[in-house]
Structure 1
Amino acid sequence: MTFNKKPMRLFGASGIAIGVVGLAIHLGLTILFLANGAQIRPLFWFALALELIAIQTLFIGFLAELIERNTQVLEDIRHEQGSEKRRWIEIKPD
């Protein structure tokens, strides 16, 4: 199986990995804030950016999956129409 047939596996896995990193950073920042009131704002924005990138990556994977399935349906229809045309040509009286 290749990723051009199942793009959600590639984009989903990378999106989830990026999202987990972002959530782990947020969790660490929350623990630091609750423990001693430390606020590390650049790291907060970096984690937020990672989470947004993860959401966009998952969305791109979903759209790619929809496009791939639509392409597969169109190929099936073309294949069926092609076999019907060949059948009609063979039956066609002279």
Structure 2
Amino acid sequence: MKKSYDISELGDFANDLEKKINSLQGKHQVTEKQLFPDSWIAKYTKFKNWNEFASNAPWDGSFTDDSKKLEREKFVSENSNFKSWQDMINKASSDYVSRQISD
């Protein structure tokens, strides 16, 4: 037996959710602080915040510098719950979207 539900009360919620989802479409500039908030870094790495995580990397420069790929992959796998930088970015991005929708 199928149940039916009256979802008319969800109107404002559904409209708000749709606006949030639409605002996330396209390309966006997201800072490290937005992508990797302190609570996220503390949960998934051995560090308390992004600055501590990045400053402990064994090279100078950006995490996106592909010339440091092997060092970056080793650092990420040894100091986080992720096997690779891409895995870390994927999870952080997914969590970022979830935070934007739920706020």
Larger Rg: 1
Higher relative contact order structure (alpha carbons within 8 Å, sequence separation ≥ 6):
1
Q: TM-score normalized by structure 1? A: 0.30
Q: TM-score normalized by structure 2? A: 0.28
